[in-house]
Chain A
């Protein structure tokens, strides 16, 4: 799966970005460049699905794909690689295509990890409550998550038996349509009374799939569940409680501050002066906000027709490269406007 994702990404990037761009996307780097790349090349679904991906592991996988003949040296960049014909064939042989289609990193990435941790801890606490056992080592160490679960249980009035029934019912509804082998992987990671869940490493040994693929399958199921819960929260009252609050945390802190100034009606020059930042930095923030927040209005920075012109140029030149676009569009358009248009264009396509 991991390899397929890299091949798909390389295919989408069309050798217009280095292979390192894929690493940044998977790892969820919070930079304009990466967020834009994810949108423009329709890789948002993979954005931030593997925050703890190690560079060395990524490099090794690239090397393996080169050795397999699925990647070859890039024609555009030194020390970079692009997909081969064999690589494109290999994508079709992916054994878990269904799981890949569940992923939506841009929407559920950061929240998904929090949701996953809450579910894991919730099951363990509930299982132990069922037998009135107070002495156990929590599977999730994170203080914030422990606190979340404490709060959730405080809100719940039902008996632990009733909660268990309800939790099972909701899981049953969500997991039944999924291939049972994945559903089994999913629940085998849960811990409970006198039972400690399997680690990714152990799951990987038991089904003989790479550890990273198990992690991706796990993330896919989480994203799938979140999508279903969001569509019909009333059907999943218990899991909805565990659904993390909508968070602005996808924005960098500094962009969040800029946004609150914009919301208060300041113009960009005023914000730059007030925050003692370069105007270009504020532009970066605006592009970032436009990318992430679809409801953010950009008409004060660029007109509808201008966006259309820019996107037309993109289409006729078949490129997303800023420099090339700027040359073709001329002095009338600033880099800032081109980027904004790309951000919104990306949103429309993605």
Chain B
């Protein structure tokens, strides 16, 4: 389709004057009804790649997204742009809300939904009423068993696409190395998707590893960094408790910085509050777990610190990718202590059910064979064996994959031993894969060669050299980092009257405009 027409549409709907790297090519491919696989680094505007075609195409676009909060954010953002015919169907909706959406299902241009909900026949029945022109799979690496964020229900999407009469498919990811790309195509039964792969290099992010000897040293380093650099900062932790504690420590130490924590166990409203305040520069340091970041569209994050290193390099690339989206110089600093690998090792062992639990579950189900597998069974299994969400998801998928549950009926099997051995082997393979990822990460941290080169060559054939602030192995230090601008120190509102007047824009005309002030810390 004509480039200038698409550009005109972009301006009309989103008020952007130009496309960013890759967007136009991907949109053209989708509009020409090619099944498309796009790998775009984080922060390059992936969502425009389906939002614009969705508005231009006849019929409905379905977007599969792994996180409810992500969907809700997207819908809110679109609403804020006055694009109203969009909805997220989630498990949070009550029966009436869902019925209301279904009653008007024809009126939506975009429907966001999770892969889990797409497994319900009742929902598919509703979606079949539509003429679906585009089927988008966001975070498509979740399809791959070899990816780090495998979600079994993603694998079943191929059936959904079939039931919806084979609309054009667009699979999007920010982190899909070649073998995962191939697996996405296989899993979707679409061997010849048009691929648009863009390099993950982020030239404006300096990569630094700082070796310390203890957690105390890490805290010391955090204090130095946060007092030296008054910039929007993310600090990643692998433990929720430690994110909260450190936030409290920093809050007490710096009266002029505003600090918050963020993790997956927080209430939805508190999460939205923290996100929105961070966007508005009311908060400038966030201590978080990997739950923070997806869908955060903030241009001026300057510093990403890893208090704990994630279990694999893909996650690391995604997390540092949140820095410097506006193209300005930003910095990633990893704080590394000698026994750091103990924590990811622990998480790794916790991630999947033990061999013993696998045996117990299979034995239990054999006692229930021929029955319909229902919520009571699930509840019983999860409570008796104390399974986490991830552990149960793994188990559930394996039970189906091995034919022990077929169309929700518990099957009787010939040999418990054969099946359980097969599941245990899968478990071992998964653990082995994770271990490999972990040691790859470990090796990278110990690297003496250029960190940039070593990081990106894992995922692509080439990388771009950087002269200034490349990495801690290339004779630069983050001390060479000169800030162009710093956030202003926090201003406290002294009285409620002043606060309310400012909020209502009363009598503030001759005062400087507040942009970076905040009231979050004491």
Contact = CB atoms under 8 A, between A and B. Distances in A.
Interface of A: 123, 126-127, 130-131, 134-137, 161, 164-165, 167-168, 171-172, 175, 180, 183-184, 186-188, 190-202, 205-206
30 contacts: A123-B504, A126-B504, A127-B503, A134-B82, A136-B80, A137-B80, A137-B272, A137-B276, A164-B504, A167-B504, A168-B501, A172-B497, A180-B496, A184-B493, A184-B495, A184-B496, A187-B499, A187-B500, A188-B493, A188-B496, A192-B503, A194-B280, A195-B282, A196-B279, A198-B519, A198-B520, A199-B269, A201-B267, A202-B270, A206-B519
Contacts of B495: 180, 184
A187 to B, nearest CB: 5
A195 B280 contact: yes
Contact of B504 (A127, A135, A200): A127
A137 B76 contact: yes
B97 to A, nearest CB: 9
Contacts of A187: 496, 499-500, 503
Contacts of B260: 202
B122 interface: no
Contacts of A183: 496
B467 to A, nearest CB: 37
Contacts of A205: 248, 251
A190 B500 contact: yes
Contacts of A200: 270
Nearest to A129: B505
Contact of A206 (B82, B274, B522): B522
B505 A197 contact: no
Nearest to A199: B273
Kindly list the 8 A-B residue pairs having the minimum CB-CB distance in the complex, ordered from nearest. A196-B276, A164-B504, A130-B505, A192-B503, A199-B273, A184-B496, A183-B496, A187-B496
Interface string B464-507: 00000000000000000000000000000101110111011110
A205 B244 CA distance: 11
Nearest to B97: A143
B77 interface: yes
B515 interface: yes
B504 A188 contact: no
B190 interface: no
A132 B260 CA distance: 30
A253 to B, nearest CB: 15
Contacts of B266: 201
A135 B81 contact: yes
B77 A137 contact: yes
A52 to B, nearest CB: 10
B100 to A, nearest CB: 10
B277 interface: yes
Contacts of A136: 80
Nearest to B279: A196
B298 to A, nearest CB: 13
B499 A196 contact: no
Given A134-B82, A198-B273, A206-B520, A164 B282 contact: no
A194 B493 CA distance: 16
Given A131-B505, A137-B76, A184-B495, A196 B282 contact: yes
A222 B446 CA distance: 58
**Residue from A126, A190, A205 whose CB has the most chain B CB atoms within 10 Å:** A205
B94 to A, nearest CB: 13
Interface string B84-119: 000000000000000000000000000000000000
B440 to A, nearest CB: 38
B357 interface: no
Nearest to B276: A196
B505 to A, nearest CB: 4
Nearest to A186: B496
A194 B506 CA distance: 15
A196 B282 CA distance: 8
Contacts of A168: 500-501, 504, 506
A165 B504 CA distance: 8
B248, B274, B499: most-surrounded residue (chain A CB, <10 A): B499
B318 interface: no
Given A137-B80, A194-B280, A198-B519, A184 B499 contact: yes
A199 B506 contact: no
A127 to B, nearest CB: 5
A206 B492 CA distance: 12
A123 B515 contact: no
A247 to B, nearest CB: 20
B521 interface: yes
B273 A175 contact: no
A221 B294 CA distance: 37
A175 B496 contact: yes
Contacts of A123: 503-504
A205 B496 CA distance: 18
Contact of A195 (B80, B81, B497, B503): B503
Interface string B41-61: 000000000000000000000
B318 to A, nearest CB: 24
B434 to A, nearest CB: 34
Contacts of A130: 504-505
A161 B501 CA distance: 11
B503 A190 contact: yes
Contacts of A184: 493, 495-496, 499
Given A172-B497, A175-B496, A202 B503 contact: no
A123 B80 CA distance: 17
Interface string B202-229: 0000000000000000000000000000
A321 to B, nearest CB: 39
Contacts of B270: 199-202
Interface string B223-247: 0000000000000000000000000
Given A205-B251, A206-B520, A206-B521, A196 B280 contact: yes
Contacts of B76: 137
A202 B270 CA distance: 8
A167 B500 CA distance: 10
Contacts of B504: 123, 126-127, 130, 164, 167-168, 192
A35 B80 CA distance: 43
A196 B501 contact: no
A223 to B, nearest CB: 18
Nearest to B280: A194
Contacts of B272: 137
A299 B266 CA distance: 53
Interface in B68-83: 76-77, 79-82
Nearest to A188: B519
